[in-house]
A and B are shown apart, each in its own frame.
Chain A
């Protein structure tokens, strides 16, 4: 659920394709083959998405374990969101989180690694890529604890490296910590994507750029970038989508201290299950769904154009 992987980037979505029923399945049996998957998807993805809309216009509350029967309040939850300083705070923090860790952090580090490792010695390349991939493969709760330990005030490695004894990084600079954490964890995806994208840049063009004495930066801008522009866009959209929906800030800071790291997903959780305001949090969830939909449509459109 939290892990909604998108289709293979850099490849066109193969929505159309020849269908040739050699095995003689027939439409009726094919529908039977589809039924279990569609049933589960319907029950646990489509239905919840639609139900969010309904709960979002009610005053559904959770008191204790028992839910009080809700009544419809129209758009009250949405007008509440407009004036909710904590929601505005969560939106701003999410934008900051996406900008810092996905658009700048993962993107730039991922590209830099793909670019430099391209001609590195195989042993160096394997080691560096292996490390970065391992960061991506480890379970997110483990990675969260690894960074909690790293940032710790009394026993943390960071204070020991920097000689800043007694700095409680997660309390003093929570957003910086989250951005570093997410950059570390997610860079592998951008690195792999850019590695394969760079293979599409014709070596002859790089060679001639070198012959005319272009600087590294000029080569990147005028030769490499035009070739990988589509990849940069798809990558940015995908990792932004994942980062904006990421729940792991909760593991590091629970949104604290004093809402300083409460991104939208954490805010939704805190409002719904700590505050019991299911109606209001559903309204916010619906806004997040709409934002996701817009980004996903943009992404699909890009894939289409490239195919």
Chain B
């Protein structure tokens, strides 16, 4: 134990503490502010109250926006999973002419065309289709955006499903439909569940698409409504924002924990980005 070693150790622990604090301190806000009589006002032990929760539940649009989020995100997640499952199975098992080029194109698309780069044409297109202010329209745009990456993640899963299972089903005379329904689908279930959660989490946090496409406040999902809490009176509504933030985060965190415990969390190039 030389002095240099001791100094280095101490420095090391100070650094770790600093990094941990950097990540923990803002997080304490979301844990304490919802139940604090005077949220903000610096570091202090919260003056516990449930007033904010009541105010949030009474807010005319707060809970309503959660329902909107749910509608949009469930539609998106189900559509993404269903269409990506069909596409990735076809791409994994059937030699379609131009398959490799198609896969390469999808891979490029998934990172090149982002919401910010395509916001103007998407806005104009939805405007001309009369899909402005439509929750279904928002779900459609999100589905299109998530599909290329979803196909890739799922194709990895499907590639890993042993073909021998399908072969033996075939030997016993199962039809194509039976093989898909009774063999492939059950084996691919962890992959499908992952994609379902991944698509849900991604669309739940998406701000730009509903912000662009939805005009009326009663159709806004939570991600956008949070923003209007500030704009109403010019300053932030500190009794509603913290509770709402907490409530809005719960589904995502719960889903993550669920996937993590059941299937083991695989860090797919961005389960969320």
Chain A residues with CB under 8 Å of chain B are: 1-9, 13-17, 19-27, 29-31, 33-34, 36-38, 40-41, 43-49, 51-52, 55, 60, 67, 109, 112-113, 116, 120, 124, 127-128, 131-132, 134-142, 145-150, 152, 154-157, 159-161, 184, 189, 192-193, 196, 238, 241-242, 245-248, 251, 264-265, 268-269, 272-273, 278, 281-282, 285, 288-289, 292-293, 295-297, 299-300
Do residues B118 and A52 form an inter-chain contact, with CB atoms below 8 A?
Answer: yes
CB-CB < 8 A to B50: which residues of A? none
Q: Name 14 interchain pairs, CB-CB below 8 A, sorted by A.
A: A5-B269, A13-B107, A25-B176, A38-B87, A40-B143, A44-B145, A47-B121, A109-B19, A137-B253, A159-B42, A184-B22, A268-B119, A272-B123, A299-B111
CB-defined interface of B226-263 with A at 8 Å, one 1/0 digit per residue? Answer: 11000000001010011001001100110010000000
Cα A80 to Cα B86 with chains together (Å):
46
A48→B122 contact, CB < 8 A: yes
Report the count of interface residues on B (CB-CB < 8 A).
Answer: 116
Does chain A have a CB within 8 A of B6?
A: no
- A51 and B124 within 8 A (CB): yes
CB of A112 within 8 A of CB of B109, answer no
- Of chain A, the residue at the smallest CB distance from B28 is A157
Contact status A45-B19, CB under 8 Å: no
CA of A7 to CA of B152, assembled, Å: 7
| Known contacts A5-B110, A40-B143, A289-B112; A15/B100 CB under 8 A | yes
Are A17 and B92 neighbours in the complex by a CB distance under 8 Å? yes
Q: Which residues from B are CB-within-8-Å of A272?
A: 119-120, 123
Task: Name the A residues within 8 Å of B112 (CB-CB).
Answer: 4, 49, 289, 292-293, 296
Nearest CB on B from A100, distance (A): 15
Instruction: Give complex CA distance A224, B155 in Å.
Output: 32
Q: Is the CB of A152 within 8 A of B40?
A: yes
The interface-forming segment of B54-62, B186-194, B197-205 is B197-205
A145 touches B23 (CB 8 A): no
- Closest B residue to A11 by CB, please name it: B156
**Cross-chain contact of A19 among B40, B99, B119, B123 (Cβ < 8 A):** B99
* Other contacts beyond A24-B176, A157-B40: 5, CB < 8 A: A30-B93, A52-B120, A159-B42, A247-B207, A268-B120
B7 to chain A, nearest CB (A): 13
Interface contact B94-A145, CB-CB below 8 Å: no
Task: Name the 8 nearest CB pairs between A and B, nearest first.
Answer: A160-B42, A44-B144, A155-B40, A1-B115, A5-B270, A1-B145, A139-B205, A30-B94
Contact between chains at B166 and A273 (CB < 8 Å): no
Q: In the complex, which of the residues B20, B110, B148 contacts A131, with contact meaning CB atoms closer than 8 Å? A: B20
Q: Which residues of B contact A48 (CB under 8 A)?
A: 113, 118, 121-122, 125
* Interface SS, B side: helix
**A299 contacts which chain B residues (CB < 8 A)?**
111
Considering the complex, give the chain A residue whose CB is closest to the CB of B146.
A3
List A contacts of B9 (CB < 8 A): none
A138 contact set on B, CB distance < 8 A: 30, 249, 252-253
Expressed in whole angstroms, the Cα–Cα distance for A286 and B52 within the complex equals: 45
When distances are taken between beta carbons in the complex, the residues of chain A under 8 Å from B249 are 138-139, 142
**Contact mask for chain B residues 161-180; partner A; CB cutoff 8 A; 1 contact, 0 none:** 00100110010000010011
Interface assignment of B71: CB less than 8 Å from any CB of chain A: no
The answer for the CA separation of A156 and B100 in the assembled complex, in Å, is 53
B144 touches A45 (CB 8 A): yes
B residues within 8 A CB of A281?
A: 120
CB distance from B153 to the nearest CB of A (A): 8
Q: For the complex, what is the distance from the CA of A8 to the CA of B208, rounded to whole Å?
A: 24
Which residues of B are found within 8 Å of A289, using beta-carbon distances? 112-113, 117-118
Are A8 and B27 interface neighbours, CB within 8 A?
no
Asked if B146 and A193 sit within 8 Å, CB to CB, the answer is: no
- Cross-chain contact A47 with B125 (CB below 8 angstroms): yes
Chain A residues whose C-beta falls within 8 Å of the C-beta of B45 in the assembled complex: none
Asked whether, in the complex, the Cβ of A2 is within 8 Å of the Cβ of B26, the reply is: no
Interface-centre pick from B99, B117, B146 (highest chain A CB count, 10 A): B117
Contacts of B143 in A (CB 8 A): 40, 44
Contact of B207 among A19, A26, A141, A282 (CB under 8 A): A141
Per the 8 Å Cβ criterion, residues 208-236 of B in contact with A are: 208-209, 212, 222-224, 226-227, 236
| List of B residues within 8 angstroms of A29 by Cβ | 90, 176
* Cα–Cα, bound, A135→B208 (Å): 20
Distance in angstroms between the alpha carbons of A260 and B104 in the assembled complex: 38
Contacts A45-B148, A135-B23, A149-B39: A51 and B125 contacting too (C-beta < 8 A)?
yes
